[in-house]
Structure 1
Amino acid sequence: MLVLYHGEPNGPSLSVLAMLAECGLEGQIETRPINLLAGERHTIPGIAEPLARDIGVEGEGPLLVVDGEACQESVFLAQYLDEVAGAGLQPKDAYTHWQMMMWCRRITERCAPAAAFLGNQAYAAPVLAAMDDAAFDAIIAPIASADLHQRWADTRSGAFPDAARTDSRAKIADAAALVETQLADGREWLIGPLTIADFETYGWLVGMVDLMPDTFAEKSLTRAWMARMAARPSVQSALARAGVTHPERVWAPGPEINRWG
């Protein structure tokens, strides 16, 4: 049995849930919502190797459990879903497929850590800071990865250096500019046809609009693309799973800020 554990439809959980619907796999793969900021990802039963679950660079992202194996990372999960369904959301042409994967790598390595930094500073840190020590310790006790354990502690303590905040805002602005430039030739989707890159990029950027409104206000092509993404039935299906009014404001400790800039 395949079970997809996911957080609120934001960030990587949004991209994977939308891909699930886009691939026509709703009802074929069981889905179970979990509260990522309550540490529920680390108490999922039947995981054969907890460390493998926790060392993913994505941090608190969705998990697809297959025969006790915790499969993770939203781009890889999207590929898995596409290949199971034969949905055609990965280009067949080798060069275009390379373009899609390089685009996704840029989003996951530069945009995603920046979005997680800003989202956690704005929304997650106050929630964790309000907890008493015993409650917080109970949440992080099952985390097998020392790096991820530290990211939780840093989030709670408010370890958000000004330099990292400035850098994160710059990287979000760079991602929005990248989208704007890519769409300048009149294409509807980022790689040409609709691909995994659209879902991955939208998942990480949509929560940044409220935090950096001026960045998106001047990007008319990016806003139009985001509107097209929001209107897709698959994205609407993902958002319908939300348990809160504003899922784009729900964050949990995410990717580590890149050490190499």
Structure 2
Amino acid sequence: MTSILYHGEPNGPSLSVLAAAFETDVAVTLERIDLVAGDRHGANVPHAMEIDQSIEGEGPVLVADGVAMTDSVFLACYFDDIGTGTVLRPGDPYARWQMMAWCRHVIERLAPAAAYLGLEKSPPGAVPTGIVSLDLAERWADAAHGQFDDDKLADSRTKVAQTTAKIEAQLADGRDWLMGDFSIADLETYAWLAGMPHIVPTAFEHKPLTTAWLSRVKARPAVARALALASGPMPETVWAPGPEINRWG
């Protein structure tokens, strides 16, 4: 059975999953949906509890053998298991733990921050119908009505800066990729960070290793192929509500 990947503009989780599919040479039929218009909640995209209550917010949806799945890191792991191309996870158990721990930092701290900052710069025009998750509907409403908390904006900028500092330290031993070999950690981190240089430029100042790493990831054929699917010249400026900002800070 053909696998279908419903994806938005190549930014955030859609970029990560598209590039992971291309890196691993997994055959998928691509179906573009407008995440900013709320297409993921319409009748044309298959639904399941895991989709409607996804903690990732407005991410892509993969339907494989009739089963709908979401959440970019887990979809990348799925592609890594079935693909025949680039191996995206270390084989060593400790190294794999390190990679997954890094990805958790990204999805729990960087991703909510990046989405919040991106939405503040490019808010959606309206709240779509059909949203099942109450907290996601609340984030949509806040964004559409221009309700952004100054403390959350400041905290989000801090989290972006903390991530670039984390990357700079990780690359200090001369490695090209975050885990040594190219991995899901590179894709996931890049996908959420790519739109931040023009929003939080100070986070990238005096970070030559991070800047060079961003260029290397962007130059990967799979990433370039994903970015080429953009409908406009700056997909990194297109945002829909992402993960909820941790209530505990």
Q: Residues 34 and 41 of structure 1 are in contact (CA less than 8 Å); yes or no, is this contact kept in structure 2? A: yes
**Aligned counterpart, 1:132:** none
TM-score, reference length from structure 1: 0.91
TM-score, reference length from structure 2: 0.96
2:57 aligned residue (56, 59, 79): 59
Residue 67 of structure 1: how far off its partner (Å): 4.0
Q: Residues 46 and 68 of structure 1 are in contact (CA less than 8 Å); yes or no, is this contact kept in structure 2? A: no
In the alignment, residue 105 of structure 1 is paired with which amino acid? R
Q: More helix by proportion, 1 or 2?
A: 1
Residue 46 of structure 1: how far off its partner (Å): 6.1
Query: CA-atom RMSD, angstroms?
Result: 1.3
Which structure 2 residues correspond to residues 8-23 of structure 1 after superposition, within 5 A? 8-23=9-24
Q: Residues 230 and 236 of structure 1 are in contact (CA less than 8 Å); yes or no, is this contact kept in structure 2? A: yes
Residue 6 of structure 1: how far off its partner (Å): 0.5
**Aligned counterpart, 1:34:** 33
Which structure 2 residues correspond to residues 1-261 of structure 1 after superposition, within 5 A? 1-25=2-26, 28-45=27-44, 47-49=46-48, 51-86=49-84, 87-123=86-122, 125=123, 127-128=124-125, 136=126, 139=128, 141-261=129-249
**Where does structure 2 lack aligned partners over 5 or more consecutive residues?**
none
**Where does structure 1 lack aligned partners over 5 or more consecutive residues?**
129-135
Residue 150 of structure 1: how far off its partner (Å): 1.1
Moved more, 188-197 or 85-94: 85-94
In the alignment, residue 30 of structure 1 is paired with which amino acid? T
Q: Residues 50 and 70 of structure 2 are in contact (CA less than 8 Å); yes or no, is this contact kept in structure 1? A: no
SS in 2 for 1:95: helix
Residue 192 of structure 1: how far off its partner (Å): 0.8
Residue 172 of structure 1: how far off its partner (Å): 0.3
Work out the CA distance in 2 between the residues paired with 1:46 and 1:33. Answer: 11
Q: Residues 19 and 78 of structure 1 are in contact (CA less than 8 Å); yes or no, is this contact kept in structure 2? A: yes
How many percent identity over aligned positions? 51
Deviation readout 1:166-220 (Å, 9 max, x if unpaired): 1000000000000000000000000111110000000000000111122213210
Q: Residues 39 and 45 of structure 2 are in contact (CA less than 8 Å); yes or no, is this contact kept in structure 1? A: no
SS in 2 for 1:208: coil
| Residue-pair matches, total | 247
Work out the CA distance in 2 between the residues paired with 1:219 and 1:178. Answer: 10
**Aligned counterpart, 1:133:** none
Work out the CA distance in 2 between the residues paired with 1:45 and 1:257. Answer: 29
